[in-house]
A = this chain, B = another copy of it.
Amino acid sequence: MTEDKHRVVIVGGGFAGLNAAKAMRKADADVTVVDRLNHHLFQPLLYQVATGGLSPANISAPIRGLLSRSKNTRVVLAEVEGIDTASRTIATTSGPIGYDTLVLASGATHSYFGNETWAQNAPGLKSLDDATGIRRKILLAFEAAEQAKTEEERRAWLTFAVIGGGPTGVELAGAIGELSRQTLKHDFRSFDPSTARVLLVEAGQRILATYSESLSPKAARALGKLGVEVMTEAMVIDVRADGITVRRNEADELIPVKTVLWAAGVQASPLGKMLIESVDTGLSKSEIELDRAGRVPVNTDLTLPGHPEIFVLGDLSNFTHQGGSPLRGTADVAAAEGAYAGRVISQRLNGKSAPKPFHFRDLGKLAVIGRSSAVADLKFLRFGGYLAWQFWLFIHVLKLVGYQNRAAVLVQWASNYFTRNRSARLITGKLNWEQLTGGDGADDGRQTDTDEGG
């Protein structure tokens, strides 16, 4: 790496960052990808890991492996601790890294709308650790039900609540319903797993609110067949270790539930705030303000207003087509933005400097519900049921990074489907026996020791 080369630093190896890096692999620049995890993750399938249907490695790939053939690119495993836009340097756990062009694509994290204490008892699903933690929590709940001393205790262990009726919540609730009614059918002796209650709690009027209206009832019916009770216009106002309080029609209901999962809100990575604060330390305060979810507003070429050398992509950014609403925080948007940014930067290095504005070609949305059903909102076409599910399968496998992952997932799904099994139903990590056998609180899904899970 020579001193003269243009230095591009990409923070985040997710869909946006990875696609940006790939688009620049032949560029005349030194590219550095920084991520605090060593792997790229296919988030849309996290709920499958969380319910024991797939293994973590099926939906992830080492970033180094994906970029090993890009000779101009190096990967640094580090966490960003500061951004200095004046000196064009980011501070990381691995030391300072200087840039000429910065691409910030550090994604999003859970939002509990100010109720951060809820995180302890209602884990969200954004990372592999989240997913294996939830898997553990769900499987241990059934184990605890098997050993429960009273029927009341058993009922609480066999009640699951998923908060948030968007695609993530729908897919998670459907999978837990399927787990209890099909996969675990013959596994227990003290109770019938199909008596488990799975609640999908949505504050708004309908689940899948961002999808075409006709699809919400379809999804609710498919969920019902898997034993999921959909509660709409139901707002969660408290989350504790042994239950949640739900407000509906101005009445509050305390529901005893040991396993609560959070799929109700995300907020942008703290790097957005870090960036704006750095920019603000100039003589005059910039007029850039983060939106309510902490996202950074960007120009039509995905750069930070006033800073053409800084791109902000994916879930961290707020991009709006003229006259439209901000693009959603999904994988397809992030991937498209990453590819665009990579191209723009490459073109700049070749002397071209007036890129077309970014335009996201929306091919539609998918959400799967259990083993044979899904909804597809493809703009020109909306459909649900078995056909939608096959389409969902096809798209998801196609989009997985790495053909090894595709092959493995296809085999896994084929065998899961025909056997109605979920073959990755592992409980790893050191167990807290008190919690399992009737201690006061639910297992929070996190280990109580420093052992690694699997």
Which A residues are within 8 Å of any B CB, using their own CB?
Answer: 36-39, 49, 55-58, 60-62, 64-65, 68-69, 74-79, 93-95, 128-129, 131-133, 136, 139, 143, 146-147, 184-189, 402-405, 407-408, 411-412, 415-416, 419, 421, 423-431, 433, 436-437, 445-454
Closest to A449 in B: B450
Q: B453 to A428, Cβ gap below 8 A?
A: yes
* Chain B residues with CB below 8 A from A65, complex form: 187, 421, 425
A452 and B39 contacting across the interface, CB-CB below 8 Å: no
By the criterion CB–CB under 8 Å, are A189 and B56 in contact?
no
Given A415-B407, A428-B56: A454 and B128 interface contact (C-beta under 8 Å): yes
Q: How far is the CB of A402 from chain B (nearest CB, A)?
A: 7
Query: Do A128 and B428 touch (CB < 8 A)?
Result: yes
Contacts of A129 in B (CB 8 A): 428-430, 451-454
CB of A37 within 8 A of CB of B427, answer yes
Q: How far is the CA of A423 from the CA of B428 in the complex (A)?
A: 20
Instruction: Give 16 pairs: A residue, B residue, CB < 8 Å, sorted on A.
Output: A38-B139, A55-B454, A56-B424, A64-B187, A65-B421, A68-B186, A77-B146, A93-B433, A94-B437, A128-B454, A403-B415, A405-B423, A408-B411, A429-B452, A448-B450, A449-B450
Contacts of A133 in B (CB 8 A): 451-452
Contacts of A78 in B (CB 8 A): 147, 433, 437
Residues of B within 8 A of A74 (CB): 189
Residue in contact with A39 in the complex, picked from B60, B426, B453, CB distance below 8 Å: B426
Which chain B positions have C-beta within 8 A of A187? 62, 64-65, 68, 75
Contact of A454 among B131, B185, B404, B411 (CB under 8 A): B131
In the assembled complex, which residues on chain B have CB atoms less than 8 Å from the CB atom of A146?
A: 76-77
B-side contacts of A143, CB under 8 Å: 38, 77
Contacts of A147 in B (CB 8 A): 76-78, 94-95
Question: Which residues of the other chain, B, contact A56 by a CB distance below 8 angstroms?
Answer: 55, 424, 426, 428, 454
Nearest to A93 among chain B residues (CB) is B433
B428 near A132: Cβ-Cβ < 8 Å: yes
CA distance A94 to B147 in the complex (A): 7
Chain B residues with CB under 8 A of A93: 433, 436-437
Q: Tell me, in angstroms, the Cα distance from A411 to B424 when the chains sit together.
A: 16
Whole-angstrom CA separation of A339 from B189 in the bound complex: 24
Q: Are A453 and B450 in touch, CB under 8 angstroms?
A: no
In the complex, what distance in Å separates the CA atom of A449 from the CA atom of B129?
Answer: 12
Complexed CA–CA distance, A424 and B416 (Å):
20
